Amino acid sequence: MFSVYILTNITNNVLYIGVTNDLHRRLYEHKNELIDGFTKKISYT
């Protein structure tokens, strides 16, 4: 079974839509920045 999920950032100005077969694992990965990609914070220094 797969889930479609929508996340936003703290200011609600960016939406991220994803698909996963393990929603709990994927949310943990997002929260702990374990996967590089769209949600990775960018440093401009």
Are the beta carbons of 18 and 7 closer than 8 angstroms?
A: yes
| Predicted pLDDT of residue 19 | 93
Please give the pLDDT value at position 44.
63
Dihedral sign, Cα of residue 44, residue 33, residue 36, residue 10:
negative
The pLDDT confidence band at residue 25, using thresholds 50, 70 and 90, is very high
The residue that leads in pLDDT, 44 or 20, is 20
* CA–CA dist 44, 15 (Å, integer): 21
Domain boundaries, the chain: 1-45
Residue 18 token pair: 């994803």
Structure tokens at 5: 């999920």
Dist. CA 25–CA 19, nearest whole Å: 12
Model confidence at 42, in pLDDT bands (50, 70, 90)? Answer: low
